[in-house]
Amino acid sequence: MNRRRFMSAMAALAGTMGLPLPGAASTVGFAAIPKSLWVWKTPLTDINNVGDFSLKYGFNTIFYSVPPADRGSLPALQSALLLLKKRGLSVYIVGGAPTWGQDQNLPSSFHPLLNLAGQGAKGICLDVEPQDSVAWKTSQNHQAIGMDYLNFLQNAVALAKSNGLPTCVSTVPVFNNISVSHNGANILGAVTSIVQAQVLMAYRSNSSAALRVAARSLETIAAVNGKFWFGVTTKIGAPSTISYAGSTAGNFHQAMITMDAALQNEPGYLGIAINDYQSLRTLLGV
């Protein structure tokens, strides 16, 4: 049994017995599981610290939103991405807003996103989240909004692909409940058939609850041979039902180890995606 599986097995056993893992074992086990990290509101001048943190805690992929003040500093971004790549870290440049999915024409801000990613990133990650749009919240016609989003996504992915960039997107389980006539039985299936990977944000501050919420979505992703990270959040200020912000470091480590153990055999599983760098640092006390 390799180290990762051994630590995961320890975590699962401890969980069933109601026992916490010892601190050192908890930290080592957490570092051993495959993970990606959302990085928001972090300037390029701090990117070396992001790399140090990522390597210490076992992250292999970073979803980085370049701050507006740094978007004109392409040489600095290129240097930062090269530094992270040399340290074995893959970076997706993040962009998006709910309004992006409301028009089949790509927004003017999409092209600068490709330019940023073209400085050495592995790809782009579209965090559009149409379910947070005013249109979604004020209309019952989620199918039509979903179709607009899917049309946008097809155009965005095609242009990114022509620039040599794979596309990842954020998704939510509610997409699995909305039927559309577009490459799949529902929005989630259609999205999965279009993009190269996704972060399924089944946010709950309890691993068992998160897995229950995501169960049908995981079946849909597997049915179309999709790849996914399983999203969790540590965001400070988010409701305690969805965020681990109020957890202790040890309990959070154990929850992630247990969740990874439950997901290891899911088709297309890439790891856990943790939101976000700044909040996680606070949770871990670093």
Residue 24: what pLDDT?
65
Write out pLDDT tens, residues 77-112. Answer: 999 999 999 999 999 999 999 999 988 789 999 999
Could you give the number of structural domains in the chain? 1
Mean confidence (pLDDT) of the chain: 92
In a domain, 273, yes or no: yes
In a domain, 173, yes or no: yes
Write out pLDDT tens, residues 4-25. Answer: 544 454 444 444 444 455 566 6
Taking the C-alpha atoms of residue 222 and residue 267, their distance in angstroms, rounded to an integer, is 6
Taking the C-alpha atoms of residue 240 and residue 231, their distance in angstroms, rounded to an integer, is 16
Greater pLDDT, 262 or 3: 262
In a domain, 239, yes or no: yes
Write out pLDDT tens, residues 171-218. Answer: 999 999 999 976 658 999 999 999 999 999 999 999 999 999 999 999
Domain ranges, residue 42: 32-284
The answer, yes or no, to whether the previous bond of 260 is cis (omega within 30 of 0) is no
Taking the C-alpha atoms of residue 285 and residue 279, their distance in angstroms, rounded to an integer, is 10
Taking the C-alpha atoms of residue 40 and residue 235, their distance in angstroms, rounded to an integer, is 11
In a domain, 248, yes or no: yes
Residue 255: what pLDDT?
97
- How many CB atoms neighbour CB 107 within 10 A? 19
In a domain, 16, yes or no: no
In a domain, 13, yes or no: no
In a domain, 7, yes or no: no
β-pair partners for 59: 35
User: Which pLDDT band, with edges at 50, 70 and 90, does 262 fall under?
Assistant: very high
* Listed residue (115, 43, 45, 46) closest to 74, CA to CA: 115
* Listed residue (66, 74, 16, 13) closest to 39, CA to CA: 66
Taking the C-alpha atoms of residue 5 and residue 12, their distance in angstroms, rounded to an integer, is 10
User: Which pLDDT band, with edges at 50, 70 and 90, does 27 fall under?
Assistant: confident
Phi, psi angle pair for 219, to nearest 5°? -65, -40
**H/E run at residue 282:** helix 277-284
Residue 16: what pLDDT?
41
203: domain CATH number is 3.20.20.80
In a domain, 98, yes or no: yes
